[in-house]
Amino acid sequence: MAEVLVYVDHVDGAVRKPTLELLTLARRIGEPVAVALGNGAADTAAALAEHGATRVLTADAPEFADYLVVPKVDALQAAYAAVSPVAVLVPSSAEGKEIAARLAVRIKSGIITDAVDLEAGDEGPVATQSAFAASFTTKSRITQGTPVITVKPNSAAVEAAPAAGAVEALEVSFSAAATGTKVVSRTPRESTGRPELTEAAIVVSGGRGVNGAENFSIIEKLADSLGAAVGASRAAVDAGWYPHSNQVGQTGKSVSPQLYIANGISGAIQHRAGMQTSKTIVAVNKDAEAPIFDLVDYGVVGDLFEVVPQLTQEIETRKG
C-alpha cells in the first residue's frame, strides 16, 4: 500500500496531539510512515505506533537544535527520498509550515497550508481550507509533484489504530545551507500547567474589557474550573496584560476548540480569524451590539466582573 510521510512534532520525545490527529488523516490516504527528529526522537515510537505509524524513521544530531529549520528540511528530504511517499503531511506550526514549504521547493511540489480536513480523491488528496477569517471554506488539490500539506491542530480526532511502528535510523547528510542560521540561545517558555492553547478542548479568553493584568486572574480561575487554556485578544496583549503566546487571532494562535468563551472581547475580524471555527461559542460582553454576539451559541450581556466570578462559582458548586 502507498505510504504517507508524517512529520512528527514532539518535545523531547513526547508527541504533541496535532501529530496524532495527522496520523488519523494520513490513514485515509495510505500507510503512515512517521519522521521524528532531534532529542528523544526514538521515544516517540510507542505513541506513533499506537496511532497507526507502520514505520518510524528517526534521526538525532546537534544540528537540529543548533540551527534554524534547514537541518530538519534536509532530514525530511532524506526521508522523502527513502520512502517515495504519495503525500507529505506536516503539522501547521510556524516551524512546520516553513519546513514543509522548503521541502516542497526542493522536490518541485505544490504546497497547501493550514488544511482543516483531508480526504482521499481520484486526483490525489483533497484539502479543506478556511479562507478570509473562516468566512469561506475551500477545497484544493496539489497538481504538481507529491502533495505537501500542512494541517491545523484540532482538524481530526485522535484514533487508536495499533501498527508496527518499527523504528529505523534515518541517514541524513546536511546541506551547506543547514548551518546558515545559528540558534545562539534558547529560553524555553515556562509551563503554566494549563493545556496548550491550540490543542485545548476549551479556551477561555479575555480582552480589553478585562481592564488590567491583575484582573486576568478572574479569567484564569474560570479556565481552571473547566480545565481550559487561557487566550487573550491583541488589545489585551498589546496593553501588556497577558503574554503574546496566548494571543488568539490572525497574528496569534488559531484555535478550534469544542468550547470558546470570549470575555470583554468585541469580536474584530482579526480576532474572529483565530476562533470562528470553534464548535460552541459563548460570550460575555456589556455591549449588546458587540459583533461577537453574531457568532455565539450563548451570550450574556453584562459586566464580566459580575458574570464571570458567578459562573466560576456555579461551576465549582455543580462539580461538587
Partner 1 sequence: MSLRIVVCVKYVPDATGDRHFADDLTVDRDDVDGLLSELDEYAVEQALQIADEADDAEITVLTVGPEDAKDALRKALSMGADKAVHVEDDDLHGTDVMGTSLVLAKAIEKTGYDLVICGMASTDGTMGVLPAILAERLNVPQVTLLSEVSVEGGAEGTVKGRRDGDTASEQLEAALPAVVSVTDQSGEARYPSFKGIMAAKKKPVEALELDDLDIDADEVGLEGAWTAVDSAAERPARTAGTIVKDEGEGGKQLAAFLAEQKFI
* Closest by CA position to 282, among listed 253, 310, 257: 257
Task: Pick the closer one to ligand FAD by CB: 120 or 131.
Answer: 131
Specify the 3-state DSSP secondary structure of 36: strand
Closest to 247 in 3D by CA, of 203, 195, 297, 190: 203
DSSP three-state, residue 27 = coil
Residues 54-93 that bind partner 1 (CB under 8 A): 68-70, 73, 93
List binders of partner 1 among 93-132 (CB under 8 A). 93-95, 97-98, 100-102, 104-106, 109-114, 126, 130-132
- From the list ligand FAD, partner 1, none, partner contacted by residue 290 (C-beta under 5 to 8 A by kind): ligand FAD
- Out of 91, 96, 147, 264, name the contact with ligand FAD by CB under 6 A: 264
CB of 117 to ligand FAD, least distance (A): 14
Nearer to ligand FAD, 278 or 285 (CB): 285
Q: Should residue 249 be labelled a site residue for ligand FAD when binding is judged by CB under 6 A?
A: yes
113 binding ligand FAD? (CB under 6 A)? yes
Nearer to ligand FAD, 47 or 265 (CB): 265
Residue number, 179 or 215, with CB nearest to ligand FAD: 215
- List the beta bridge partners of residue 248: 253
CB 195 within 8 A of CB 162: no
Residue 52 annotated as lining a ligand binding site: no
Task: Indicate which single residue of 58, 285, 311, 312 sits in contact with ligand FAD (rule: CB under 6 A).
Answer: 285
Min. distance of Cβ 234 from ligand FAD in angstroms? 3
Residues 195-234 that bind partner 1 (CB under 8 A): 202, 226
By CB under 6 A, residue 152 contacts ligand FAD? no
**Closest approach of Cβ 253 to ligand FAD, in Å?**
8
Q: Find where cell 455543580 sits.
A: 318
- Checking phi first, is residue 70 left (phi over 0); if not, alpha (psi -120 to 50) or beta? alpha
Residue 150 found at the interface with ligand FAD (CB under 6 A): no
What residues pair up with 259 in beta bridges, in sequence order?
202, 280
Give me 261's grid cell. 468563551
**Which member of 62, 119, 137, 212 binds partner 1 (CB under 8 A)?**
137
- Tell me how far apart the alpha carbons of residues 57 and 276 are, in angstroms, rounded to a whole number: 36
User: 237-259: string of b/e by CB count within 10 Å (b at 16+)?
Assistant: bebebbeeebbbbeebbbbbbeb
Angle, helices 304-319/216-226, rounded to nearest 10 degrees: 30
Query: All 3 cell numbers of residue 27?
Result: 490513514
Q: Which of 24, 92, 155, 233 binds ligand FAD (CB under 6 A)?
A: 233
Among positions 182-221, residues that touch ligand FAD (CB under 6 A) are 207-209
Distance between first and last Cα of the chain:
52
- Examine residue 265 and tell whether it contacts ligand FAD (CB under 6 A): yes
Cα-trace Rg, the chain = 21
Which among 189, 180, 176, 171 is positioned nearest to 68, based on CA atoms?
180
142 binding partner 1? (CB under 8 A): yes
In the bound state with ligand FAD, the residue whose beta carbon lies nearer, of 38 and 207, is 207
Q: Is there a contact between 76 and 83 (Cβ–Cβ < 8 Å)?
A: no
Task: List binding-site positions for FAD.
Answer: 208, 233-234, 247-251, 264-271, 285
| Binding site residues, ligand FAD, CB under 6 A | 110-113, 129, 131, 207-209, 233-236, 247-252, 264-266, 268, 270-271, 274, 284-287, 290, 303-305
